[in-house]
Amino acid sequence: MDYEKLTSVMRELALQAGDAIMEIYASDDFDVRSKSDDSPVTAADEAADAIIAAGLRAAFPDTPLVTEEQAASHSQQVSTFLIVDPLDGTKEFVHRRGDFTVNIAYVENGVPQRGIVYAPAKDRLFYTAADGQSVEETAPFAKEQPGALTPIRVAKPDMDRLMVVASKSHRDQATDDYINKYSVQDMKSAGSSLKFCLVATGEADLYPRLGRTMEWDTAAGHAVLTGAGGDVLRFDDHMPLRYGKPGFENPFFIATAPNITLEKP
């Protein structure tokens, strides 16, 4: 894979998709429908997906593409592929809370190597640069070329004063019980893949997810966190989370800064 080209293409497509999403977000009203799994979908999901899928297929025609909004792509058995969630955090979008993102990632041999997470309503843009180092780009964002880039790095955690982030829409008692195993200084909630990015920038140390997620929900954030020195591990055995699993469904996981002594389930 040509990582220079990949980074440029993913960035431009994410920004284009963000524009389409924000146009609908700014409208007075938009329809919300339910998919077969009862998850919500809007015209913004579909518009962003059309932009990203077309762009990736044109730029990388020989690389398999998996995208949330195209069910036919979910039956593939692949270990190296592009994977897209065109609007991660649809519930945040519907409730106009702003914590939604555009996620695009490249997985190679089961490992997310590059990814981009764009939160258009928050003007935050995170991605792995061509060299593998994760960066945050400063707004405003020009499609033609990147603006000011700041390398991001996980924090050095203090086990007696951990910063924890958890899901805004999917918080439950099991998650709270697990978090309570740690000495927590501060607890924050965030939607979508922004939680990975908060760990990547050092704004949080730990993000446990004890709930159903799909690989398109996590791959881009996973890549950003890895490029900032962090890890995403299975909840059950603390082994690295892998991709290309049957049906692209994830087990429970923990996104973490290194050197945290993880508690057992």
Enumerate domains of the chain plus CATH numbers: 3-151 (3.30.540.10), 162-256 (3.40.190.80)
**Cis bond upstream, residue 151 (ω within 30):** no
Determine whether 94 is exposed, middle or buried from the number of CB atoms within 10 Å of its CB (0-12, 13-18, 19+): middle
Q: Which amino acid is at 46?
A: E
Model pLDDT, residue 94: 85
Lateral strand order in the sheet of 65-67: 65-67, 81-88, 101-108, 111-119, 124-128, 134-137, 149-151
Model pLDDT, residue 264: 86
Which regions of the chain are under pLDDT 50? none
Model pLDDT, residue 30: 76
